[in-house]
Structure 1
Amino acid sequence: MHAVQPHAADPTPVPDVGIVLVSNGPGELTTWVRPVAQRLQRRLLTPESQASLALYLVLVPCPNGTGREHRAAAPWGLFERITPANRFWSLLLRPGRFGPWPRQGVVVFLGGDQFWSVLLSARLGYRHLTYAEWVARWPRWNDRIAVMGPRAASRLPARWRSRSRVVGDLMADLSEAARSEQPLPPGEWVALLPGSKPAKLRVGVPFLLETADRLAARRPQCRFLLPLAPTTTVEELLRQAGAANPIAARYGAGMPELSPDGDALITPAGTRILLELRSPAHAVLSQCAMALTTVGANTAELAALGVPMLVLVPTQHLHVMQAWDGLAGVLARLPLLRWCFGVVLTLWRLRHRGYLASPNISAARAVVPERVGPITPAQIAAETADWLASPDRLQGMRDDLHSLRGRAGAVAALTDLVEELLPAAAAVARPDS
């Protein structure tokens, strides 16, 4: 993979065709970008292709991003070049500064603001495909639109519907990826997902550590798993659990220690929390009886895997829970307005929120519980223990989540659409794969 530095003379031949995947945050990278890139690589980057192709990843500015997504994607080895979000505007102004681009290509929107991919496709002179989970906002400037389901398709103006195709839910393929040889040790496993952004970790880490201690006291058979987000480090978890985070002092777990082999956090009460450092963690998550999670793309991942969950938004820390998207979220993070505007904004969003978890939004009903308010670890531990003691109720939630999931095959269908937009020379014989 080429470095994302201003480009100097490069003797490497420029590929004939480029496929540029555009995305934003860690959830979209794991659940959309990676499986699509892997499929494209298997299907198109083959000796049978009559043209040389290359995959590129462009990350776009987004309040839901961490700024470290490019580091998370680099070890995958899937991309010719990765452009970080903080270089996006430079890329639009002077694309050649970061390396040569093929003369022909396709830009594929897989997360963020759809307008950024419209701009990029126009700047590069490439064709454009949008994956629309709920709505395609700029159909006029899309050559093709891959919609998740009938709901998104129905929201397209009639004149643009001929450009669309229902491909299904990219999340639906996660269950296939989860079938791997990575069994967890026996036990009643509960997953803890505190988030990936600093604002969420600041609250989520101490809150969930105390919750784990209290739940372990109620149900000693419980075992705990914490999948590390690809943009987070173990050091960041420890920092948010300690004195560097003033919120941590309001919770009773105390500062955990890292186990000698580095694979677990151990709280002062003796609760052991296994760390899953590999990403994505679908194989181990799919084996959990339940998950305690913040809002975000992780709720869609858990739903696709059929993992029952409680979705937690502790509103007693509104001044740091300003991880909203859009212009309002940007204003809430400005130094002079951050505290006052952020609190007002968050209170308004919570009062007019509708549903926050992805499966609830999709179903337009409460499939999984959302606990929004000045909740405490004691309350959440007690509720989690009640759910775990009621396997029939848990199975009912699991069945509801499975019923929301579309048929597998969306990744393959999206890849087919990308191939249709490529120049004829880039086509390959279609094997069953």
Structure 2
Amino acid sequence: MHAVQPHTATPDPVPQAGIVLVSNGPGELSTWVRPVAQCLQRRLEAAGRARSFCALYLVLVPCPNGTGREHRAAAPWGLFERITPASRFWPLLLRPRRFGPWPRQGVVVFLGGDQFWSVLLSARLGYRHLTYAEWVARWPRWNDRIAVMGPGAAARLPARWRSRSRMVGDLMADLSESARSEQPLPPGEWVALLPGSKPAKLRVGVPFLLETADRLASLRPGCRFLLPLAPTTSVADLLRQAGPANPIAAQYGGGLPQLSPAGDALISQAGTRIQLERRSPAHAVLSQCALALTTVGANTAELAALGVPMLVLVPTQHLHVMQAWDGLAGLLGRLPLLRWCFGVVLTLWRLRHRGYLASPNISAGRAVVPERVGPITPAQIAAEAADWLAAPGRLQGMRDDLHSLRGQPGAVAALTDLVEELLPASSADGHPDS
């Protein structure tokens, strides 16, 4: 009798080339990373480029706009050879091979976060580098190519680096192409509630919007509510922020809602039903809403791309938890000893010198959608929302303005073209080096 020898698995071959997408928060993941990764995957498959020749990787970077759960949200997509969480970014820079083998050649693509982190990563891996510049390309010297969103970003480039740039358009403009009515909502006047995805935003947004929904339902009994869950947010997170674990919740009258028996809705203590949308991205159902009540962030750009009218809410009575600013100031505001004092001072300063906060207003340089910043109350917002819903002509005007800002679809395909141009020639034709 022959002894059974242990089986030694043959390691998969390392792809010849790699495409590394770098990003940060849930908004960028759903609106930039996923469409670009899907387009790249289709192109690779159509050209017969197997994963053994070229593979996609996702690296998440530290960012105050991140939740730390983005890697879990991206894993089910099945698009990436490997996903590196934000918590592993610094160890990755120090010892990249510790996280697995990397192709000898590749491209790093910046799609969110601090542009400097992608510059460091491309240098560390020895890959070429492409930045998608929504507003400004901060490190053009170290970019092989720059994909600018529009004329504003192009004009900010120093003249000596403009030959490296190409205007691709707004990646968000492609969202409307995928937002079809394959998931029709039941008839009714639907209002979307978007409390945010980060804990600081949820802490304020959940109790505020729950009471607002109750008040709006009493003003317009036919109103129906939709709450799309961010990919990094769970129903348990919503219930936690609506309950006694969140001291802010006691200042609002919505109370702790119950989860419906089917698990598809929250039912407030006043009986208001809030339909939950667990599928992400929720563009198909969001595009059917008459109005959205939302926090600031990437969600305002999503709604604008879908042409959904919105009221953007920043209740400043809770300044001590509004420490979601970015950059060095945001980092200092989260240090334990300075957290409360510095966070409040920083937020007050930013709000006073804020300009516009919502993405469509920043793009247009004018107030396309209302921004309600201050010690606002659910009663005030419910009354304003009811006024908008009672004036469909005004809503259509806002919708038309949003559509006019959106630009033409095609940015995802144009960005993918640039990535393919930077790939080594041997992987572009689908054959390994001889």
**Taking structure 1 as the reference length, what is the TM-score of the superposition?**
0.96
3-state SS of 2:106 partner: strand
Find the counterpart in structure 2 of residue 377 from structure 1. Answer: 378
Match of 2:22 in 1: 22
In 2: Cα distance, 1:95 partner to 1:10 partner: 22
- The 5 A counterparts of 1:9-408 are 11-46=11-46, 48-49=48-49, 52-408=53-409
Q: Is the 8 A contact 2:181 2:285 kept in 1?
A: no
Q: CA deviation at 1:428?
A: 4.7
Aligned residue for 1:319, secondary structure, equals helix
Which AA in structure 2 matches 1:100? P
For 2:186, give the aligned amino acid: P
Q: What SS does the aligned partner of 1:91 have?
A: helix
The one-letter amino acid of 1:124's match is L
Partner amino acid for 1:268?
Q
Q: Which has the larger radius of gyration?
A: 2
Output the amino acid matched with 1:26: P
C-alpha distance in 1 between matches for 2:429 and 2:346: 51
**Contact 1:242/1:255, CA 8 A, preserved across alignment:** yes
Question: 1: distance between equivalents of 2:124 and 2:327?
Answer: 23
- Structure 2 Cα separation of the partners of residues 47 and 302 of structure 1: 34
**Matching residue's letter, 1:207:** F
Contact kept? 1:44, 1:428, Cα under 8 Å: no
**Structure 2 CA distance for aligned equivalents of residues 382 and 197 of structure 1:** 27
Q: Which residue type is aligned with residue 13 of structure 1?
A: P
Report the Cα offset of residue 301 of structure 1. 0.1
Amino acid at match of 1:225: L
> Can you list the C-alpha shifts for 1:38-66, whole angstroms capped at 9, x where unaligned?
00000014562387110000000001101
Alpha-carbon distance between aligned partners in 2 of 1:206 and 1:147, rounded to the nearest angstrom: 39
How many angstroms apart in 1 are the aligned matches of 2:115 and 2:371? 28
Could you say what secondary structure the match of 2:227 adopts? strand
- 1:154 is aligned with what amino acid? A
Mapped to 2, the partners of 1:191 and 1:280 lie a distance apart of 14
What is the TM-score when the length of structure 2 is the normalising length? 0.96
Is the CA contact 1:45–1:53 (under 8 Å) kept in the aligned structure 2? no
CA distance in structure 2 between the partners assigned to 1:324 and 1:45 by the alignment? 40
Q: Is the 8 A contact 1:187 1:223 kept in 2?
A: yes
Q: Given that residues 191 and 223 in structure 2 are in contact (C-alpha distance below 8 angstroms), is that contact kept between their aligned partners in structure 1?
A: yes
Q: Which residue of 2 aligns with 1:413?
A: 414
- Distance, in Å, in 2 between the alignment partners of 1:135 and 1:413 is 18
Q: For 1:302-344, what per-residue CA distance to the aligned partner results, in whole angstroms no more than 9, with x for missing partners?
A: 0000000000000000000111101111111111000000000
Q: Distance in 1 between matches of 2:395 and 2:82?
A: 44
Q: Is the 8 A contact 1:45 1:52 kept in 2?
A: no
Please state how far the C-alpha of 1:169 moved relative to its aligned partner.
0.2
- Give the 3-state SS of the residue equivalent to 1:214 in structure 2: helix
C-alpha displacement of 1:355: 0.3
**Unmatched runs of 5 consecutive residues or more in structure 2:** 1-8
In percent, how many aligned pairs have the same letter?
88
- Please give the alpha-carbon distance, in whole angstroms, between the structure 2 residues aligned to 1:49 and 1:360: 42
SS of 1:21's partner is strand
Q: For residue 321 of structure 1, what is the amino acid of its counterpart?
A: M
